[in-house]
């Protein structure tokens, strides 16, 4: 079966590279004293990094771009798909982590981190988010080789586009 251009262009390693970039941007912004948690911009970067990390995992499990697009930006639905496909790698997160991710998803999925919406918003604490960050870095490291292998088996691996090892610089910084 011939793959579409989108299938060949959106690889698991490409998604993982973008995920790591968003998470690195979150890490840089979170140490900037002008952003105090909770703040929409760091929350968006964090959630988008989560989304792309989980979608990279789903790509290694054979999910198509069409299937990923159908999930949209809904972290709850993306996580549900990840849990269905399981694998020990997803077990780095516990039920509390999933609940906090779901809490962030309320604003993320409704684009409230991107567009102003006045009113009350509920966020997990910065400490909790940073603990989840450590786990997503571990998760990304655990799927890194799977992403490379998936790309090689599909004949889509292009060395220049492969991500650097995930989490470089993230886990060394204090929370």
10-residue averages of pLDDT along the chain (175 residues) = 64 94 92 82 96 96 94 96 84 94 95 90 92 95 89 56 42 32
For residue 137 the two structure tokens come to 């870095």
Cβ burial of 11 (10 Å; 0-12, 13-18, 19+) is buried
Q: What pLDDT score was predicted for residue 129?
A: 94
**For the whole model, what pTM was predicted?**
0.84
**Short-list 60, 108, 52, CA closest to 78:** 52
3, HSE (Cβ side, Cα atoms, 13 Å): 16
Residue 13 in contact with residue 156, Cβ under 8 Å?
A: no
pLDDT at residue 165, rounded to an integer: 43
CA–CA distance, 35 with 39 (Å, rounded to integer) = 7
Q: Which domains does the chain carry?
A: 5-161 (1.20.120.330)
């Amino acid at each position: 079966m011939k793959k579409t251009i989108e299938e060949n262009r959106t690889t698991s390693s490409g998604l993982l590279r973008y995920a790591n970039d968003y998470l690195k941007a979150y890490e840089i912004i979170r140490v900037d004293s002008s952003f105090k948690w909770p703040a929409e911009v760091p929350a968006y970067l964090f959630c988008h990094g989560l989304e792309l990390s989980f979608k990279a995992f789903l790509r290694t499990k054979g999910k198509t771009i069409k299937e990923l697009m159908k999930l949209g930006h809904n972290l709850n639905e993306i996580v549900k798909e990840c849990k269905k496909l399981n694998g020990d790698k997803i077990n780095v997160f516990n039920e509390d982590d999933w609940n906090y991710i779901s809490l962030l998803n309320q604003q993320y999925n409704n684009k409230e981190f991107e567009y102003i919406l006045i009113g009350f918003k509920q966020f997990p604490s910065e400490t909790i988010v940073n603990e989840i960050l450590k786990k997503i870095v571990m998760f990304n490291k655990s799927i890194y080789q799977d992403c490379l292998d998936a790309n090689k088996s599909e004949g889509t691996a292009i060395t220049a586009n492969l991500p650097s090892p995930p989490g470089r610089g993230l886990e060394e910084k204090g929370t």
